[in-house]
Structure 1
């Protein structure tokens, strides 16, 4: 899933390609993806792209009086074409396509059978439900350690992994970067969010540094290179069974209904493996 660093880099890359361009037409080929009907898709034709920004994980194309907002969900992506191809069906099929007058444009794709990608055409991005309820950007200079401590204190006994991923509390952090942040902070994903001041300070510093580094590594890359760059920077996420690059222990995972987390027992849980929820339901322990 693209998270804040990748969506930020996408916005930078697309801004350089789109700003000042005039939209020829916008088609949404996946009915389930389109979440609005007024204004109609036809209303974007003839509008000039002012800029491309983001709100957490939401990509925002500012087209003068309208905004095309895209949430890429788990399997969505943006692909740029100097010559935009026609829509196609099948795996990795286009969910939408924005055609420019010069024949170039972008395709919004979503792989797999589960369709969660979402597209809105609105006059104000704050009317998009997910944007209206977003928490603060963790890299915003106004997001202080004190504000972070307030959020954690308010979450009480909730597990820190879930708090970091909660977009209503902190914007832009998903499954991958929450794993990486907690590993770098040497903290269990199941640790209660309300924690000692020293732990808050360590987690805050690691979170800001890790996300800022991911943004720096991603900026300037074309959209086609962002996925591989993200994976190359991961120390634990998606690396179950590999050696931890810090201590050499084997990276473990905990599976849930529709996701999983990865962690290092030595670095994060005092050497004790956490129960794998999927195996526990089958009466299997390890």
Structure 2
């Protein structure tokens, strides 16, 4: 899933390659991805792209004051092309959801792999009209120890779940939350509001270090290379059974219904493996 660093890098790419150009037309290939009707998507035609930004994991393309807001969800992606096909795509065929043509022949496709569709596109006059943006908590890169402490004081759940709740903190997803907790040497099962003042300070620094480093590595990369860049920088996420680069212990995993997360027992849980109920049931 694209998270804060990848979305920031895509926004940077669009600022460099799309700003100043005019939208020639938009082809809708998957009606299910379209979440608004007023203004219609046709309202963007003939307008110039004036900016590109990010709200949490939402991508915002400013088109003369009208906003094309995109949430790539779990399996969505933006594919940039310097020369898009002129022929309109066939609706409902393949991963393509939306194609945006710019006046110089360049543009981008919004695609989504798999059968579970979550990619969403909105055309709004005010980004706060997008429900997901209106509900966002403070951006992960805006937090210091004091503000994070105030947030966590009201969170009674596990710190892993707190970090990925966009209503609490915006921008952190499953992968980078694993990396942040590993950097902070915290168990994903720790209760958020029970963290000590020292743990909160360490966590705040880990959030900044992990996210800022990933942004620095991602911004300036071609969009097609961002997924590989993300994978190359991960120390524990999606590395089950591989040695932790800090201590050498094997990275362990917790499996859930539709995702999993990873941690290092030595670095984060005092050498103990957390109870993986899904695996326990499979072994019975």
> How many angstroms apart in 2 are the aligned matches of 1:278 and 1:184?
26
Consecutive unaligned residues of structure 2, counting only runs of 5 or more, are: none
1:136 aligns with 2:138: yes
TM-score, structure 2 as length reference: 0.96
1:100 aligns with 2:102: yes
> How many angstroms apart in 2 are the aligned matches of 1:134 and 1:51?
21
> How many angstroms apart in 1 are the aligned matches of 2:283 and 2:216?
45
Instruction: Describe the superposition over 1:119-150 as per-residue Cα deviations: whole angstroms up to 9, x where unpaired.
Output: 1011111110010011111212xx33111001
1:270 aligns with 2:280: no
Structure 1 residue 277 displacement after superposition = 2.6
1:224 aligns with 2:224: yes
Structure 1 residue 239 displacement after superposition = 0.6
Structure 1 residue 65 displacement after superposition = 3.0
Whether the 8 Å contact between 1:4 and 1:173 is mirrored in structure 2 is yes
Q: RMSD across aligned C-alpha pairs, in angstroms?
A: 1.2
Instruction: Describe the superposition over 1:153-189 as per-residue Cα deviations: whole angstroms up to 9, x where unpaired.
Output: 1103x10000000101111000000000001111100
Q: Which residue of 2 aligns with 1:2?
A: 2
Matches within 5 A, 1:140-159: 140=142, 143-156=143-156, 158-159=157-158
Structure 1 residue 283 displacement after superposition = 5.2
DSSP-derived class of the 2:153 partner: helix
Structure 1 residue 280 displacement after superposition = 2.7
Whether the 8 Å contact between 1:58 and 1:70 is mirrored in structure 2 is yes
DSSP-derived class of the 2:154 partner: helix
Q: Which residue of 2 aligns with 1:169?
A: 168
> How many angstroms apart in 2 are the aligned matches of 1:118 and 1:276?
33
The structure 1 segments of at least 4 consecutive aligned residues displaced by more than 4 Å after TM superposition are 88-91
Instruction: Describe the superposition over 1:185-238 as per-residue Cα deviations: whole angstroms up to 9, x where unpaired.
Output: 111000000111011111111111111111111111110111100000000001
Q: Which residue of 1 aligns with 2:18?
A: 18
Aligned length: 280
Whether the 8 Å contact between 2:27 and 2:89 is mirrored in structure 1 is no
Range with greater deviation from structure 2 (172-181 or 60-69)? 60-69
Structure 1 residue 26 displacement after superposition = 1.3
> How many angstroms apart in 2 are the aligned matches of 1:26 and 1:233?
35
Whether the 8 Å contact between 1:27 and 1:41 is mirrored in structure 2 is no
